[in-house]
Amino acid sequence: MEQMKLLDVCDFRGGSQPPKEEWISEERPGYVRMLQIRDFTQGSEKFVQFVPDTGKLRKCGKDDLLLCRYGYIGQVVTGLEGAYNVALVKVERKHPIYQPYLMYYFQSPYFRNYLLSNTGARATIAGFNMNELHNALIPIPSEAIQQKIAARLIQVDHLISERQAQIEAFPQLLKAHFHRLFAEGGQLVRVQDLCSHIVDCPHSTPKYDGDLKYPAIRTTDIKDGYIDWSQMKYVSEAEYEKRTARFTPQAGDIVYSREGTCGNAALLPEGQSFCLGQRVMLFRPHRELCVPEYLLHCLISEQVWQQVCRRSVGSIVPHLNMRDAKNLMIRLHPLPKQESFAHFARQIADARQTAIAALTELEELKTSLLKDYYG
């Protein structure tokens, strides 16, 4: 198969950086949307900004490909139009090549590894420049083969998106079912009356060195009622023993983010020995009064969130201290009704794990195909 130098196939055009005092958050005549990396990576409508359209700005259309120069170095993004800043470069084709085929080239392990090996440790600080792409190669099969390769990868991406949507839907399904069962009735009680222990984290940053094998739960690891393992950090046995000297978490305990991503909570699963990172507290329910799955969904309910917000009046971001945590009020329903919900929650958790396993297989398939197609 023919190979060409990447710089013979396309050019890369850097972005513009108007003065920050010119940026505004609402659209006006004579202004154009200013695109940053986070517009693509954190939601297209979350950080919308506009700048005066001077006629000198670098612009892109919705179908253009852009590469991230910083942070997400080399990541290809597309789908938005406007001016783009200096953290992005636009890909401009100068040799006939099928655009989706080119897009997947930029996602390939070959391109990612090439870019990182040539930019080194400074990549996330200084970004990459065009000289570092001088020796990058790209396979150039026939147009028909390019279209076939892109179609196969688009199909896999579609399946990945379906699985991701399914996984994201599970927490909302559980919350809706919980609301239907428990929104009304029950006896109002304090959380401290339903727990044998409510424990705050050690007020120190875990040390992540040595033989790392014990997960240290941080606020960023707690999402939508579940543990997110994607960026979990681990500590040594010595650090684990230090952080659990006062109290040892166990399966069925509820970890709760009390600052930062305040209001997120999750059950600790079987088979791991956890310790608490910073800004995390733990609830251990009295099993004869409430089941863990029920207390978990009480803690992440809208009723409790409103209490957290009221107790955070005057703060820049919501947070919860130990005293307020113990005095949160929840509706206590009969144990058989709780257990019925817990059974449903465990079925959902099993279905979610099956979906996560399927997603992992699809992501591995995509990586394998990218290696086969692009080297």
Residue 48 lies in a domain: yes
d(CA 245, CA 336): 35
Same-domain status, 196 and 136: no
Residues of the chain with pLDDT under 70: 44, 46, 119-128, 313-317
Out of 82, 113, 140, pick the residue that ends a domain: 140
Same-domain status, 195 and 328: yes
Same-domain status, 136 and 258: no
Same-domain status, 120 and 22: yes
Same-domain status, 136 and 221: no
Residue 79 lies in a domain: yes
Amino acid letter, residue 226: Y
Residue 366 lies in a domain: no
Write down the pLDDT at residue 124. 44
Q: What's the structural domain count of the chain?
A: 2
Spell 149-165 as b/e; 16+ CB within 10 A means b. bbeebeebeebbeebee
Same-domain status, 201 and 133: no
> Tokens 């979610």 label which residue?
352
Write down the pLDDT at residue 314. 54
pTM: 0.83
Q: CATH number of the domain that 305 lies in?
A: 3.90.220.20
Write down the pLDDT at residue 72. 77
Write down the pLDDT at residue 309. 85
Write down the pLDDT at residue 123. 44
Same-domain status, 133 and 238: no
d(CA 51, CA 25): 9
Same-domain status, 34 and 99: yes
Write down the pLDDT at residue 129. 72
Same-domain status, 67 and 196: no
Residue 154 lies in a domain: no
Residue 280 lies in a domain: yes
Write down the pLDDT at residue 181. 94
Q: Which of 301, 306, 363 has the alpha carbon at shortest distance from 333?
A: 301
Residue 342 lies in a domain: no
Q: Which of 69, 64, 74, 110 has the alpha carbon at shortest distance from 86?
A: 69
Q: Which domain covers residue 267, as residue numbers?
A: 187-332
